[in-house]
């Protein structure tokens, strides 16, 4: 996944602490399997094999792979198109995909070609095919490219949490690349709490707000770490707007979402970030999502919270 992970856990007062080496080995095995399924950087992964298919072709996919695609399709609708896991051709064009040799902005013709390959209608997921024992994913357009990076880390967090649950661990905090899920209590016998980092372009780090995670997940999406600078010195976000086909251009620095599970929080954070501050907050309020926005201003930053988020941190 190109990132690190951390698992913190404490023994229940009635049970001995599970062996850390055994827990780490179990976590590594789970993450390796998710990489084998969903990494676009591995030529033999499930997703890479799907991306090489031609229009009209399809393949059986694992249950986990199908579950992530299905959740991505659901969140695409909820975010009004903000989360689009078919955006890969444009991400690659702008130099944020596996091919890091791209150094120039794409031409209008290149964008026009990629535009024909992008859209949820370019893939079809069938989970109840009578002739198949597994889910079946097919491609509806040549050049279509699936990229689950906006949601896969959250899914991995949930899988590790499930593993810890099954191991009988009742108090833990799981983190993968900044996406988190917590259960139970920390070493101070309080609900786990995490700080949302304030983006400081002066390379300082400061906690913007402390969020208690009482059996909940937190995910953040932003462009203050992963960006490029074009020939004119303009910052180019790594997050591509499916509508404009270009790096997002708005005043949002980051979107943080608290949800019951990390895969949902992860996907919503990316989808809402794409939409910009006004639409993101409006959709969050309509759906009663717990959302925290950090917005760039001429003087620095300001913040906005949805009512559901205010309830969590009050």
- DSSP code string of 6-75: EEEEE--TTSPPPPHHHHHHHHHHHHHHHHHHH-TTSTTSHHHHHHTPPTT-EEEE-HHHHHHHHHHHHH
What residues contact residue 131 under an 8 Å CB cut-off, 6+ apart? none
| 33 torsion bin: left (phi>0), alpha (psi -120 to 50), beta (else) | alpha
Q: How far is CA 164 from the centre of its chain?
A: 21
Contact 252, 280 (CB under 8 A): yes
d(CA 160, CA 83): 24
- The dihedrals phi and psi of 66, each to the nearest 5 degrees, come to -65, -40
d(CA 214, CA 9): 14
Question: Could you tell me the end-to-end alpha-carbon distance of the chain, in angstroms, rounded to an integer?
Answer: 34
43 labeled binding residue: no
135 labeled binding residue: no
- DSSP code string of 245-302: SSB--SSEEEEEEEESSHHHHHHHHHHHHHH-HHHHHHHHHHHT-EEEEEEEETTEEE
d(CA 71, CA 159): 14
266 labeled binding residue: yes
**Binding site: residue ranges?**
150, 266, 270
Annotated binding site for Mg(2+): 150, 266, 270
């Amino acid at each position: 996944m190109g990132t690190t992970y951390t698992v913190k856990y404490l023994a229940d007062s009635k049970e001995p602490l599970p062996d850390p080496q055994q827990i780490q080995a179990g976590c590594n095995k789970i993450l390796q399997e998710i990489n084998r399924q969903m990494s676009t950087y591995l030529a033999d992964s499930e997703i890479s094999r799907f991306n090489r298919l031609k229009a009209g072709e399809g393949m059986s996919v694992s249950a986990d792979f199908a579950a992530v695609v299905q959740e991505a399709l659901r969140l695409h609708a909820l975010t009004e198109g903000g989360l689009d896991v078919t955006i890969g051709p444009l991400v690659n064009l702008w130099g944020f995909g596996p091919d890091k040799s791209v150094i120039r902005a794409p031409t209008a013709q290149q964008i026009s070609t990629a535009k024909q390959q992008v859209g949820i209608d370019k893939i079809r997921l069938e989970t109840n095919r009578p002739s198949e024992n597994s889910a079946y994913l097919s491609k509806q357009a040549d050049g279509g490219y699936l990229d689950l990076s906006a949601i896969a880390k959250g899914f991995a967090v949930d899988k590790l949490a499930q593993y810890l649950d099954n191991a009988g661990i009742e108090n833990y905090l799981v983190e993968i690349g900044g996406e988190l899920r917590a259960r139970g209590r920390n070493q101070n016998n309080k609900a786990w709490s995490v700080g949302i980092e304030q983006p400081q372009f002066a390379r300082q780090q400061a906690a913007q707000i402390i969020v208690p995670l009482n059996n909940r997940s937190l995910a953040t999406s932003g462009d203050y770490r992963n960006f490029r600078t074009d020939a004119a010195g303009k910052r180019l976000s790594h997050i591509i707007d499916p509508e404009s086909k270009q790096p997002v251009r708005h005043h949002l620095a980051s979107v943080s979402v608290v949800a019951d599970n990390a895969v949902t929080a992860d996907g919503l954070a990316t989808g809402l970030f794409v939409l910009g501050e006004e639409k993101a907050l409006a959709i969050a309020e309509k759906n009663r999502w717990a959302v925290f926005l950090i917005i760039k201003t001429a003087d620095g930053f300001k913040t906005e919270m949805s009512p559901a988020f205010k309830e969590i941190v009050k």
